[in-house]
């Protein structure tokens, strides 16, 4: 459980790819993630995801809220406002894997 959220019983972990990471707010980054596996998510704005971001020393887990989802492009956009996540996103490359898991309130 993270901040009152738990993993959705129907959701599995999905490995998605980073499409772009843009600066947003002082310590934030807006991420666009793509992948065929979005279909299993039934994504919609307002849903929460737990992201596992790979690092050189392991992994960084953060929770973000879906801001937009394009079902034709299978792209979702979310913002992470966190200094560690912002540093990860600034150093990440297009195509880097991101593990995403839907959370339910």
- For 66, the domain range is 6-104
Give the pLDDT confidence of 82-102 residue by residue, as tens digits: 888 888 888 888 999 999 888
**pTM across the whole model:** 0.78
pLDDT for 41: 58
pLDDT for 28: 81
Q: Is 1 inside a domain boundary?
A: no
- Cα(80)–Cα(88) distance, integer angstroms: 11
Phi, psi of 36 (to 5 degrees): -60, -25
- Cα(93)–Cα(31) distance, integer angstroms: 12
Q: Is the pLDDT of residue 79 over 80?
A: yes
Give the pLDDT confidence of 32-54 residue by residue, as tens digits: 999 875 555 567 888 888 999 88
CATH number for 24: 2.40.30.10
Question: How many domains does the chain divide into?
Answer: 1
Q: What is the mean pLDDT of residues 11-33?
A: 83
């Amino acid at each position: 459980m993270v901040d009152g959220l738990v993993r959705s019983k129907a959701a599995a972990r999905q490995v998605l790819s980073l499409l772009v990471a843009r600066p947003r707010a002082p310590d934030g980054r807006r991420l666009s993630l793509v992948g065929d596996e979005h279909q299993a998510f039934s994504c919609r704005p307002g849903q929460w995801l737990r992201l596992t971001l790979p690092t050189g020393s392991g992994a960084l887990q953060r929770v973000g809220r879906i801001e937009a989802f394009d079902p034709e492009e299978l792209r979702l956009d979310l913002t992470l406002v966190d200094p560690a996540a912002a540093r990860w996103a600034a150093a990440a490359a297009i195509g880097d894997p991101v593990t995403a898991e839907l959370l339910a309130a």
